């Protein structure tokens, strides 16, 4: 269950995944698998492995005591091994001597974290595929829906909503591809023993490691990575970039939802997007969730990068700081993906308002077009001077831009009535917007759709 304090930084599924029970289970999964592999290799008795498997139950452990002991030992691995050994000892004192055989506490902790990451990947993957599918549909539906482009938050030349959505889609898709690759790179067993040589297991060390990786469904690295955190860092950086792209989409939609703009709106309903004091409001709930979640991601990624500078073969404080950082980044990224998928699914678009907002500029957003038409006749500098004067008069007199231009003799000399009449047609000043939209959408079609 998600704690109230974490409600805007995780989903229920990811909160459960990184819960105490889940973390304990992952560490115990490592210990049981290690014992089974070692028993098959006749390094420990088969009976010992069986007793270890029977005793390895999270609900049999006192989490509060383990928290206190973790602070004393500076690693969760020590109290975990102690608690498991005690549970085994109550049934078989001899078998208790084979718990955690040849491993070190960081092996259990790192592998447990990787096992949780393996479970987290399909959760994020499912929501990302859903979001991409929804955005692809929106981009295709609105390929010809014209709207004002906005640069520096000011009205600029026309674009299509389909192009805007395709931009969100392509950036999120690229982030998805990076994330998938970095997950794959990170799903590695950690088994190195005290100093990363597996000396306690002798010549069988590599084979045991390979067998253990296979047992756990993980990849086997070239060597233990106790003090080399680059793969995990790459995963978190990929989350950071993806979070930024999700935030871009959330920021754009929330701006389009402003009452003064009103070009798009998230789905509303009982309890969704409402205000405690203003019944008329329909707030951007999904965008707010996403932006709240990702606000903490850059700082967490930075903290992980700082912790990469780890001493010698095993670090003092570096890897020990990672659990909450990794869990926080994954959960926040996961919430942002889920929130934006929900927002996209219920997003309504108002093409009439988009056109009205174009018209509300009185046509001055076509100043670039007018300049380019005149520049070929009288030169760019002279054209710009005429157009700037027309823009100023349009603002001062609250009249349409083309009407002002049609009254200027220097303009009428070079632009006929048809050119002036069509000057403010947004469909005739979209350039290659639709080609760009199609290219962006096509670049995302290698993903599987659910």
Domain boundaries, the chain: 1-103+196-220, 107-188+225-358+430-450, 364-423
Give the tens place of pLDDT for each residue, 110-164.
999 999 999 999 999 999 999 999 999 999 999 999 999 999 999 999 999 999 9
Q: Which of 263, 294, 291, 259 is CA-nearest to residue 275?
A: 259
Q: Which fold has domain 107-188+225-358+430-450?
A: Fumarase C; Chain A, domain 2 (1.20.200)
pLDDT at 85 over 50: yes
What confidence tier does 269 reach under pLDDT thresholds 50, 70, 90?
A: low
Token pair recorded at residue 404? 């002002």
Give the tens place of pLDDT for each residue, 62-73.
999 999 999 989
* Percent of the residues in the chain that have a pLDDT greater than 70, as a whole number: 96
Instruction: Identify the H or E element spanning 384.
Output: helix 380-397
Q: What is the pLDDT of residue 447?
A: 47
How wide is the angle at C-alpha 204 spanned by C-alphas 203 and 209, nearest 5°?
A: 130
> Are the C-beta atoms of 374 and 411 separated by less than 8 Å?
yes
Q: Does the annotation mark 3 as catalytic?
A: no
Per DSSP, the three-state class of 429 is helix
Q: Which of the residues 275, 306, 395, 443 is marked catalytic? A: 275
Q: Does the annotation mark 302 as catalytic?
A: no
pLDDT (average), residues 61-84: 92
Per DSSP, the three-state class of 448 is coil
> Considering the chain, what is the average pLDDT of its residues?
92
Per DSSP, the three-state class of 408 is coil
Going by the DSSP 8-state scheme, the letter that residue 426 receives in this structure is: G
Q: What is the pLDDT of residue 1?
A: 73
What confidence tier does 279 reach under pLDDT thresholds 50, 70, 90?
A: very low
pLDDT at 271 over 80: no
Give the tens place of pLDDT for each residue, 300-325.
999 999 999 989 988 888 888 899 99
Q: Which of 333, 367, 13, 51 is CA-nearest to residue 176?
A: 333
What confidence tier does 450 reach under pLDDT thresholds 50, 70, 90?
A: very low
Give the tens place of pLDDT for each residue, 163-187.
999 999 999 999 999 999 999 999 9
Q: What is the pLDDT of residue 280?
A: 52
Q: Which position has the token pair 């069986």?
A: 50
Query: In 240-399, where do the E strands start and end?
Result: 264-265, 348-349
- Residue 348's beta-bridge partner residues? 265
**How many beta carbons lie within 10 A of that of residue 239, not counting itself?**
28
Measured distance CA(62)–CA(59) in Å, rounded? 8
First to last CA, the chain: 27
The sign of the torsion formed by the CA atoms of 370, 376, 377, 382 equals positive
Q: Which of the residues 178, 231, 314, 399 is marked catalytic? A: 314
For residues 245, 347, 430 and 363, what is the CA-based torsion angle, rounded to 10 degrees? -110
Residues 6+ apart with CB under 8 A from 91: 51, 54, 55
pLDDT (average), residues 44-58: 95
pLDDT (average), residues 21-36: 96
Measured distance CA(369)–CA(279) in Å, rounded? 44
The β-bridge relationship of strands 154-160 and 264-265 is unpaired
Token pair recorded at residue 322? 């990672």
Instruction: Identify the H or E element spanning 149.
Output: strand 146-151
What confidence tier does 449 reach under pLDDT thresholds 50, 70, 90?
A: very low
Token pair recorded at residue 132? 């991409």
For residues 395, 401, 405 and 408, what is the CA-based torsion angle, rounded to 10 degrees? -20
The sign of the torsion formed by the CA atoms of 155, 429, 159, 400 equals positive
- CB-count exposure of residue 142 (10 Å: 0-12, 13-18, 19+): buried
Q: Kindly report the CATH number that applies to the domain delimited by 364-423.
A: 1.10.40.30
Measured distance CA(3)–CA(15) in Å, rounded? 8
Predicted model pTM = 0.92
Classify residue 404 as left (phi > 0), alpha (psi -120 to 50) or beta: alpha
46 vs 6, more confident = 46
Token pair recorded at residue 337? 């993906």
What confidence tier does 380 reach under pLDDT thresholds 50, 70, 90?
A: very high
Equal CATH topology for 1-103+196-220 and 364-423 = no
pLDDT at 222 over 80: yes
Q: Which fold has domain 1-103+196-220?
A: Fumarase C; Chain B, domain 1 (1.10.275)
């Amino acid at each position: 269950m998600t704690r109230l304090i974490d409600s805007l930084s995780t989903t229920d599924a990811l909160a459960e995944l990184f819960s105490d029970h889940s973390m304990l289970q992952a560490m115990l999964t490592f210990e049981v698998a290690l014992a089974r592999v070692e028993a098959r290799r006749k390094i420990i008795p088969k009976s010992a492995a069986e007793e270890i498997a029977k005793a390895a139950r999270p609900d049999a452990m006192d989490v509060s005591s383990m928290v206190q002991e973790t602070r004393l030992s500076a690693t969760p691995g020590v109290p975990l091994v102690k608690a498991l050994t005690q549970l085994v000892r109550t049934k078989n004192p001899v078998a208790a001597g084979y718990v955690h055989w040849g491993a070190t506490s960081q092996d259990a902790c790192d592998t447990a974290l990787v096992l949780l990451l393996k479970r987290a990947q399909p959760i994020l993957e499912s929501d990302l595929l859903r979001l991409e599918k929804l955005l692809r549909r929106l981009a295709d539906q609105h390929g010809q829906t014209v709207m004002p482009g906005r640069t520096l938050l000011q009205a600029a030349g026309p674009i299509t909503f389909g192009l805007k959505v395709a931009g969100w889609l392509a950036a999120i898709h690229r982030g998805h591809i990076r994330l998938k690759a970095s997950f794959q790179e990170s799903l590695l067993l950690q088994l190195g023993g005290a100093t990363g040589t597996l000396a306690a297991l002798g010549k069988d060390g590599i084979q045991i490691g390979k067998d253990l990786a296979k047992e756990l469904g993980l990849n086997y690295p070239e060597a233990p990575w106790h003090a080399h955190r680059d793969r995990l860092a790459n995963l978190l950086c990929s989350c950071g970039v993806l979070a930024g792209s999700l935030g871009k989409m959330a920021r754009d939609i929330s701006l389009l939802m402003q009452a003064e703009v009103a070009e798009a709106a998230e789905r509303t309903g009982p309890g969704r997007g409402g205000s405690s004091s203003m019944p008329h409001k329909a707030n951007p709930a999904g965008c707010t969730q996403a932006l709240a979640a990702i606000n903490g991601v850059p700082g967490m990624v930075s903290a992980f990068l700082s912790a990469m500078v780890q001493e010698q073969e095993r670090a003092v404080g570096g890897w020990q700081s990672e659990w909450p950082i990794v869990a926080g980044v994954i959960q926040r990224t996961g919430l942002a993906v889920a929130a934006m998928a929900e927002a996209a699914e219920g997003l309504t678009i108002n093409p009439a308002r988009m056109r009205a907002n174009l018209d509300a500029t009185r046509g001055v957003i076509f100043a670039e077009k007018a300049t380019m038409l005149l520049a070929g006749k009288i030169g760019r500098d002279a054209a710009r001077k005429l157009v700037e004067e027309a823009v100023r008069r349009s603002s001062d007199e609250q009249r349409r831009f083309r009407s002002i231009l049609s009254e200027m003799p220097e303009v009428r000399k070079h632009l006929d009535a048809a050119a002036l009449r069509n000057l403010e047609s947004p469909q005739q000043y979209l350039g290659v917007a639709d080609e760009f939209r199609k290219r962006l959408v096509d670049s995302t079609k290698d993903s599987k759709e659910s």
